[in-house]
């Protein structure tokens, strides 16, 4: 198992590569999810405001 | 559709990583450092593929004024930039132990860097123009001009002398790679492609919600969420 993590002496290069790749791709997904939440929240607020206006 | 794609992505990813990091034997010249290939090459392929999707859907939007094509085009830009960034960084991390340098200004590396700048130009231009439909048209033209860079990247290793190795998989005779090494690479390439589909769907959904927020059907979707 430690052989696996050692990567024949190239551990730094191999694992940094995989780490950066993982982080970048994960950020892409998280960014989309956060933006979606924000949009839904804002639209819900907008609809609330519109409904408050109507009855008067 | 997203849950299915995510499941497919996870299966491909686990299989590809296991095959690439554990099962595949070390390279006889490069030792274990060659394992960077399993993310470097798929992301480099995807950086070109996503660019073509962006340019073609941009052209479709330009000619037929189809909103969805514009949205696919602009949503692809950020994802493509991410793939290009990964390809450059992992290439650098591979170059250091193998070539003895992080970076050389040769044809392959420079043209890939230009690709990153093209993506960034597209994103910047789109953000700079207020009216989204005008922005989409401007971006499509920029993307189409940049298409000239794509064959340059692909053939750069043949046209110029470079430190970068030649094509290993995408050539006309059979790939010069052992199946034990090649299959995980193709599986990882599939995984990256599915990831693109997932990320693209998520981005398009956001873009559509923002653009069409005054439409009634958006309200109906919101009620379900």
For CA atoms B217, B218, B219, B220, give the dihedral sign. Answer: positive
Q: Which of B34, B75, B83, B78 shows the shortest CA–CA distance to B58? A: B75
Instruction: Render pLDDT for B77-122 as a digit per residue (tens, 0 to 9).
Output: 889 888 888 888 888 778 777 777 777 777 778 888 888 888 888 8
Distance of CA B37 to the CA centre of its chain: 15
8 A C-beta contact, residue B196 and residue B9: no
- For tokens 């907008």, name the residue: A46
How many domains is chain B built from?
1
- Other beta carbons within 10 Å of A33: 12
Supply the pTM of this predicted model.
0.81
B202–A contact, CB cutoff 8 A: yes
B195–A contact, CB cutoff 8 A: yes
User: Looking at the domain assignment, is residue B4 inside a domain?
Assistant: no
- Other beta carbons within 10 Å of B130: 7
Domain that holds residue B86: 34-155+181-224
B94–A contact, CB cutoff 8 A: yes
* Domain ranges across chain A: 12-53
Distance from CA of B218 to the nearest CA of A (A): 9
- Other beta carbons within 10 Å of B129: 14
Distance from CA of A54 to the nearest CA of B (A): 16
Instruction: Render pLDDT for B5-53 as a digit per residue (tens, 0 to 9).
Output: 888 887 888 877 777 777 676 666 676 777 888 888 888 888 888 988 9
């Amino acid at each position: 198992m430690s052989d696996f993590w050692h990567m024949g002496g190239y551990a730094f290069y191999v694992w940094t590569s995989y780490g950066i790749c993982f982080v970048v791709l994960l950020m892409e997904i998280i960014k989309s999810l956060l933006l979606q939440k924000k949009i839904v929240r804002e639209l819900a607020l907008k609809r609330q405001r519109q409904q408050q206006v109507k009855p008067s | 559709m997203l849950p299915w794609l995510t499941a497919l992505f996870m299966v491909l990813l686990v299989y590809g990583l296991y095959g690439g990091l554990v099962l595949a034997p070390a390279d006889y010249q490069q030792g274990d450092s060659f394992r960077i290939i399993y993310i470097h090459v798929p992301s480099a392929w995807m950086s070109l593929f996503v660019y073509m999707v962006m340019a073609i859907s941009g052209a479709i939007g330009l000619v037929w004024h189809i909103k969805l094509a514009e949205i696919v085009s602009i949503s692809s830009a950020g994802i493509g930039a991410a793939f290009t960034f990964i390809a450059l960084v992992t290439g650098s991390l591979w170059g250091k132990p193998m070539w003895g340098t992080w970076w050389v200004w040769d044809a392959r590396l420079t043209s890939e860097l230009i690709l990153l700048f093209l993506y960034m130009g597209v994103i910047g231009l789109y953000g700079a123009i207020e009216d989204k439909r005008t922005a989409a048209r401007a971006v499509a033209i920029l993307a189409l001009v940049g298409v000239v860079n794509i064959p340059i990247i692909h053939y750069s290793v043949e046209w110029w002398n470079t430190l970068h190795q030649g094509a290993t998989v995408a050539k006309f005779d059979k790939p010069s790679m052992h199946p034990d090494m090649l299959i995980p690479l193709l599986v990882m390439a599939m995984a990256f492609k599915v990831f693109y589909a997932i990320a693209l769907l998520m981005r398009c959904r956001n873009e559509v919600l923002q653009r069409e927020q005054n439409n009634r059907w958006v309200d109906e979707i919101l009620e379900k969420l």
